[in-house]
Chain A
Amino acid sequence: MSLLEITNLHKSFGGLSAVLKFNFRLDTQELVGLIGPNGAGKTTVFNLITGVYKPNGGSIVFNNENIAGLAPYNICKKGVARTFQNIRLFKDLSVIDNVKIAFHKNVNYNLLNTILRTPAFFRGEKIIEEKALEYLKIFKLEDKRDEIASNLPYGEQRRLEIARALATKPIMLILDEPAAGMNPQETRELMQLIEWIRQDFQLSILLIEHDMSLVMGVCERIYVLDYGQIIAHGLPEEIRNNKKVIEAYLGEEVG
């Protein structure tokens, strides 16, 4: 069953079409990669799916519901979570507070409880604290719970961002270049982590990545984007040998 079905998506900035006639499908619990040269429009697609940009046309059906043009916080509530190419943590807040914010959409006490500090407030805060700690433990960050997020090393910031995204309890997780700036060793660990997350949280994952070893290693299907259009899609093997893809990445042969 398809979880995400994008048809004829179109987005232009001024006269430039960043994404054109974009068609895409993601099945439940599938791990699909979206690759393409720099400036192909990959992140624009992510921004359209998560509501950061409003599309000019086309539909994005998620879980049998058209989410095209909804506000980002509503799309999050439908079960879409993402990470960012250039990490966007709440930098001046502690590690645990970063994760706690993800639970806010399900907070079970109201403003009056908050101001009067009723027992409901303390109960609610305790639940949030416990849940946040659970996620920190999964990502081996529990020792750093009170540290300021921007003081974490790069790899841990990436992990924290994934933890925070998962804490919103998504059905679909979107990872925007998770391996950017990582060395081969870290990339390998990340691959295992992604695979494990998918099994354990029963997620569908959509991945943008430049690192070919990562994409070829974990993705079940791959879409290739160039100049805002899909130029190829299929199994990793097929993509590797696709002439159009090689051209897009390396340029045409002269002759």
Chain B
Amino acid sequence: MHEKKKTWLTFLFEVIVLAVLFTIVQYAITVGLINQSYHINITSMCINIILAVSLNLINGFTGQLSLGHAGFMAVGAYASVIMTNNLGMPFIVGILAGCLAAGIAGFLIGVPTLRLKGDYLAIATLGFGEIIRVVLQNIDYVGGPAGMVGITRLTSWPWLYASTIVTILVIVNLINSSYGRAIISVREDEIASELMGINTTSYKVLAFVVGAMFAGLAGVLYAHFFYIIKPETFGFLKSFDIVVMVVLGGLGSTTGAVIAAIFITFLTFALQKYAAVRMIIYSLILIIVMIYRPQGVMGSKELTRKTFARIWGGKK
């Protein structure tokens, strides 16, 4: 009984921390403490967290190297803008449409490609990501190479914050369950996993679809913040950016993905003033991390309640 009460108190405490964080930023935005460039920075950070955490589900937990994450982001972005701008639907419909469209795209691409392993899968997903981009470039309805412009800014801080938390919650809850163990067992040993009665193909597809849906969500938020979307924004370089975050954070660590997403966003932001040496410093940092910590910042470990309790010197 005591244990149960303690769990509830911890939960309540966490909710309060999250609410306070939300309120502080919201207040700062309303009062004008946060200027335009910081605002952009915070938005990119949340979008990057969503992208990294969702790709980590595919690359880190399921062990399927996907290089087409930006493609799903594009599908989500375009589908939602068609809903909101072209058809005049409310933002929530755009969000749902974006996630759904990206999820369907993930399913259609996942079913044929997930039979492939390792490098072959990586190349196939890279190819599909490019196909999505080229197809968008050639559809006049969505503006072709020029993309879609004049998108209303609907991505507000509450939407961003809620989306980020929902993404993390859904993926953490999924991973810490019997379904999550099945997904991880695919990464650990596919043959042993099959022989334990797990239909590995269907779990790979499941992880791929869930990952794609959240990439779609990131696309929706991106499109409705930056006023404009172009196919080339979602090229394979964007996919690589996300892969870098996941590898830097540690494959198979959600907290690692979050930390890496925040770090890389701030790094890019901080280096903007030194445009000439920006990429050199950025690359150097990546090289140094990979030499001294090839498993990523967090490895496959997570920061959990227990870790925090240890840090604060609690008993448990």
Q: State the A residues within 8 Å of B (CB).
A: 50-52, 71-73, 76-77, 81-82, 84, 88-93, 97, 100-105, 107, 109, 111, 114-117, 121, 124-125, 128, 164, 168
User: Which of B174, B196, B200 lies at the interface centre, i.e. has the most chain A CB atoms within 10 A of its CB?
Assistant: B196
Determine whether B92 belongs to the interface, using a CB cutoff of 8 Å to chain A. Answer: no
Cβ–Cβ contact B192 & A102, under 8 A: no
Q: A52-B191, A72-B191, A89-B192 are known contacts. Are A114 and B179 too (CB-CB below 8 A)? A: yes
* Total cross-chain contacts (CB, 8 A): 91
Residue ID in chain B nearest A110 by CB atoms: B179
Q: A103-B178, A107-B179, A115-B174 are known contacts. Are A90 and B189 too (CB-CB below 8 A)? A: yes
The smallest C-beta distance from B148 to any residue of chain A, in angstroms, reads: 32
Cβ–Cβ contact B184 & A90, under 8 A: yes
Complex contacts, B182 vs chain A, CB 8 Å: 101, 104
Residue ID in chain B nearest A90 by CB atoms: B188
Tell me, in angstroms, the Cα distance from A164 to B185 when the chains sit together.
13
Which 3 interchain pairs have the tightest Cβ spacing? Answer: A105-B197, A76-B197, A90-B188
Tell me, in angstroms, the Cα distance from A168 to B173 when the chains sit together.
24
Complex contacts, A100 vs chain B, CB 8 Å: 178, 181
Q: A71-B199, A115-B173 are known contacts. Are A91 and B179 too (CB-CB below 8 A)? A: no
Cβ–Cβ contact B196 & A168, under 8 A: yes
Which residues 145-204 in B have Cβ within 8 Å of A in the complex? 169-170, 173-174, 177-182, 184-185, 188-189, 191-200
The smallest C-beta distance from A215 to any residue of chain B, in angstroms, reads: 23
Determine whether B300 belongs to the interface, using a CB cutoff of 8 Å to chain A. Answer: yes
Complex contacts, B179 vs chain A, CB 8 Å: 104, 107, 111, 114
Cβ–Cβ contact B189 & A88, under 8 A: yes
Cβ–Cβ contact A124 & B192, under 8 A: no
Tell me, in angstroms, the Cα distance from A51 to B200 when the chains sit together.
14
Cβ–Cβ contact B196 & A105, under 8 A: yes
Residue ID in chain B nearest A88 by CB atoms: B192
Residue ID in chain A nearest B182 by CB atoms: A104
18 pairs from A and B in contact (CB 8 Å cutoff): A50-B195, A51-B194, A52-B195, A73-B197, A81-B195, A84-B192, A88-B191, A88-B192, A89-B189, A92-B300, A100-B178, A104-B181, A109-B178, A114-B178, A115-B174, A117-B173, A168-B196, A168-B197
